[in-house]
Structure 1
């Protein structure tokens, strides 16, 4: 058991590989792994841990405090073990190490995502974690699937991209902060630190500003669909949302559809996304677009004494 070595390309590549084979519904690249470790806010006390067997990396963990929540003491640990190396003790070792570390950092409530599969759920229960909400992973075949026609923008709405805000991203920060506050979640999060958002979100290596569609009214962004790409053939929606004052106008559907059309034109062949099961409006949009559920994960929580 040790920390990931961010300055070792082979170590980082192995971490990204384990994550990819354990959770193929999310984009993992070595650059994204390093970015998470080095650019997460210092107050998160973030660590990336690895478990090895005979020199082979077989398990990974990303752990930290939810520093941007108004409720103190909340933390996360997400453990993933190579599917061909299960039941060798790596997962349990990662959980124990993560819990001990987070407790020393003041954590009192630990949240973890667990794949909705019998073995994973039983593992979480054995370690004292209780089930909470669920979320679906969804996939759309961009190469062969049929997208519905692109809706027309409502009067007064202009479609642009995140790249158009490169000189001054603050309006994008404000849009992100408002929409995130209304996302279904067990943990309330508030975006208040613009510089931290720039480092963690705006400069994220997977963010594709050219494929991130933004709906603009009177020069201000009011809705967006954030695109991540892996530099190959895979595209993912990281967030789709609309500010409260402009909801009910079809802007989420509009921005996401536009982004998908441009992703296909750019050569991407697979589109991925995820939705909380309580987010009925977004699930309806994704069903209309042609996405199909390809996996489910369950949020678990453990309260430390």
Structure 2
């Protein structure tokens, strides 16, 4: 086994590994290839793979989180190791490389995500589980009917929305419960990670407009006939009116009309309003993971 820095041509193997370990996560080959070849600006992003006989059996990425108001936070993405190669040191070697990179770029606090069965591994490496995340799936056969917006509300596909207006709405709505809030992402980074993401389906992604303000939205990232509800949010002043359910239902309807057959999403277990929306839409739980934190000496 060897650990090396990821290369763009690793993307197909990384996506195949992700589909095996986390089948509910949706990120396609070209989107993964772009992230490796052209990392997000200003984040000191890097990734590592574990290889056995020239076959990728593990993956981890690490970066400085500059999307949050919290200082000196580093992230290690969900660490993937092929089930047949666990217990042989690949996970430890990948995590060691990722933490070393974060030390080099000045991170002092680190968040990662761990499957329930991986919590003992996380604890052994100094991480403390903090919050549970629920993954859910929805079969879009049949698709939900297109909802009728209430008076004064317009439903728009993102193809009809200016990205700077969406960025402002995204910032205003980014107060959901989590250990590291994404409350200060710059327009440049938001544009890279959201608007210009190769997986973003702008025709399915939906925003609700009242007057000249974007007040709610639901983003769809797609890979073939699978989609990920990347973020559904409502600007605080407009909550309690059913707008999150409205835009998410519209986005699911449009995605299904475009050929999507199954939708995945995730929610913090403390986010009762959004969990209730998903239950009403028919989502069923398919997995979970834990946000885990540690200090970095």
Say whether the fold is shared (TM-score over 0.5): yes
SS of alignment partner, residue 42 of structure 2: helix
Cα deviation, 1:231-287, whole Å, max 9, x if unaligned, reads x21122101011112111111010111111222222211111110101100000000
Q: 246, 266, 275: which is aligned to 2:267?
A: 275
Partners of 2:193 and 2:288 lie apart in 1 by 26
Q: Contact 1:39–1:200 at 8 Å: present in 2 too?
A: no
Q: Contact 2:68–2:185 at 8 Å: present in 1 too?
A: no
Q: Shift in Å at residue 109 of structure 1?
A: 1.0
Q: Which residue of 2 aligns with 1:108?
A: 108
Q: Does 1:26 align with 2:20?
A: no
Q: Which residue of 2 aligns with 1:129?
A: 127
Q: Contact 2:136–2:287 at 8 Å: present in 1 too?
A: yes
Partners of 2:38 and 2:51 lie apart in 1 by 25
Q: Does 1:174 align with 2:172?
A: no
Question: Which has the larger displacement, 295-304 or 99-108?
Answer: 99-108
Q: 219, 222, 226: which is aligned to 2:215?
A: 222
Report the TM-score, using the length of structure 1 for normalisation: 0.92
Q: Shift in Å at residue 291 of structure 1?
A: 0.3
Aligned ranges 1:140-151 → 2 under 5 Å: 140-143=138-141, 147=144, 150-151=146-147
SS of alignment partner, residue 44 of structure 1: coil
Q: Shift in Å at residue 115 of structure 1?
A: 0.8
Partners of 1:263 and 1:150 lie apart in 2 by 11
Partners of 1:256 and 1:12 lie apart in 2 by 30
Q: Which residue of 1 aligns with 2:137?
A: 139
Q: 222, 233, 242: which is aligned to 1:250?
A: 242
Report the TM-score, using the length of structure 2 for normalisation: 0.94
Q: 194, 203, 207: which is aligned to 1:210?
A: 203
SS of alignment partner, residue 99 of structure 1: helix
Aligned ranges 1:32-111 → 2 under 5 Å: 32-78=31-77, 79-111=79-111
Q: Which residue of 1 aligns with 2:149?
A: 153
**Backbone CA RMSD of aligned residues:** 1.6
Cα distance change of structure 1 residues 40 and 174 upon mapping to structure 2, 3 Å threshold: farther
Partners of 1:215 and 1:24 lie apart in 2 by 30
SS of alignment partner, residue 302 of structure 1: strand
Q: Shift in Å at residue 39 of structure 1?
A: 4.6
Q: Contact 2:169–2:235 at 8 Å: present in 1 too?
A: yes
Partners of 2:72 and 2:212 lie apart in 1 by 39
Q: Shift in Å at residue 190 of structure 1?
A: 3.0
Partners of 1:29 and 1:179 lie apart in 2 by 26
Cα deviation, 1:179-212, whole Å, max 9, x if unaligned, reads 12x1211113333522232222100011000001
Gaps of 5+ in 2: none
Q: Shift in Å at residue 138 of structure 1?
A: 0.1
Where do 4+ consecutive residues of structure 1 move more than 6 Å?
Answer: none
Q: 205, 211, 225: which is aligned to 1:233?
A: 225
Q: Does 1:200 align with 2:193?
A: yes
Q: Which residue of 2 aligns with 1:297?
A: 289
Cα distance change of structure 1 residues 192 and 94 upon mapping to structure 2, 3 Å threshold: closer
